[in-house]
Structure 1
């Protein structure tokens, strides 16, 4: 059914993929416009003390909130930090490495001495930003 008409199908779009694209767009708007009414409503109810990217599903989530979190998965697959100063980018949690490497550093793969407090990428950068 989803095969193009020119190839003998009906040309019907994949509705799940289309819906995920629309939900991803809604998530992007929630992140880009945090002062919009919908963003403030979701923040007050579901992620009051954290950022939208780290919000959890919560105890009694609405259908709309569950849908938005499905769209967030689409955004997470394609998002990547631009380092800049590296002061806000967490080494082990945020996606900051370019492909083909994994997007973040697995904490189990690196042994950091307990006396060295390295949490942000800025601690790894030299003064010349190398």
Structure 2
């Protein structure tokens, strides 16, 4: 196995996207090659204007929980998802968008932030990435 991390990003929940980017940036900072395979609700975060839109996975309370969480994060100087994504790309992270999910959800390439996406693929693309990874996660 190589020094590589592959993460399936299935959830679009704000806290899970934060977890994904924090873990993946940590892996990149430690010298690991890192790939994120965005599928289903995770893929929606790659839509233009979509990165910051997801709800909290727990205690969202019709959006009030997210507002409270964002206030606490700002007070603690937690960086934005946009900054974490920019860091991920600057550190050499790879993003794969699931084409099957795009078909299911009626998404076209022009709906997504193509500047973030390195590859469009399907389950075989993910398996190829994961089979050579020391760490695989599903978030």
Q: TM-score, normalized by length of structure 2?
A: 0.25
Q: TM-score, normalized by length of structure 1?
A: 0.26
Bigger Rg, which one = 1
Higher RCO, Cα 8 Å, sep 6+: 2
Bigger proportion of residues as strand: 2
